[in-house]
Amino acid sequence: MEDIIKILDKYGLVFVKGLGGTLWMSFVTVAFGTVLGILIALMRMGKVKILRAVADAFVEIIRGIPALMQLYFFWLVFPKLVPFEVSDTFSIVVAFIINASAYISEIIRAGIQAVDKGQWEAARSLGLSERNMYMKIILPQAIKNILPALCNEFISTIKGTSLASVFFINELTTGYKTVASATFLALESLCISGVIYLVLNVSLSKLVALFERRLKQSDR
């Protein structure tokens, strides 16, 4: 315990910066992953066979390949594909976004399909275009199904960003590695990082549960 206190006193800022990096990456991943996920979900639910096939293949490939392997791929290949210089952090964040979009698209697709069929029929009977039907009728109702699952995806992303430590990107697990290498107190440093992850994720899980209860109460 004494060693943990000494580590926090001297290297507490390293863990704080790492936590900031973890939260930043998680927020950006879920935010942009949601935008891309909506597009993929609509493609999979659309009537254009080619787009539906492309979206299906994308989701299957991303979900079928380990996340760490995807990070390595983007770290090695992405800088060569773009006509401008990109940092390791940018490449890894793009990989996280691509990975998250496949899972988020399934959340959105399930949320949209959960809307009562009568709402779809009513929207079509009113003569609404496909775009207006989604924007004005379906998506507003689907949001209640989507948001809780999206919040849980954010929590999963927070844990998943620990993979970025392999590439020494600034986040919480990288902070642990930095402190452990400087102090030679690997177990103590690991415990500090683990407790931070635990407190953060448990707190967020409680907030999500409260949010879900509020949504259920609003339906009554």
Count CA atoms within 13 Å of residue 150 on its CB side.
24
The string of pLDDT tens digits covering residues 171-213 is 999 999 999 999 889 999 999 999 999 999 999 999 988 887 8
Predicted model pTM: 0.89
Q: What are phi and psi of 162, to 5 degrees?
A: -60, -20
At 143, the pLDDT band (50, 70, 90 cuts) reads confident
More confident of the two residues 140 and 188: 188
The string of pLDDT tens digits covering residues 40-72 is 998 998 888 999 999 999 999 999 999 999 999
Count CA atoms within 13 Å of residue 104 on its CB side.
28
pLDDT at 220 over 70: no
Number of domains making up the chain = 1
What CATH number is associated with residue 185?
Answer: 1.10.3720.10
Q: Percentage of the chain with pLDDT > 90?
A: 59
Cβ atoms of residues 59 and 106 within 8 Å:
yes
* Domain region containing 95: 2-219
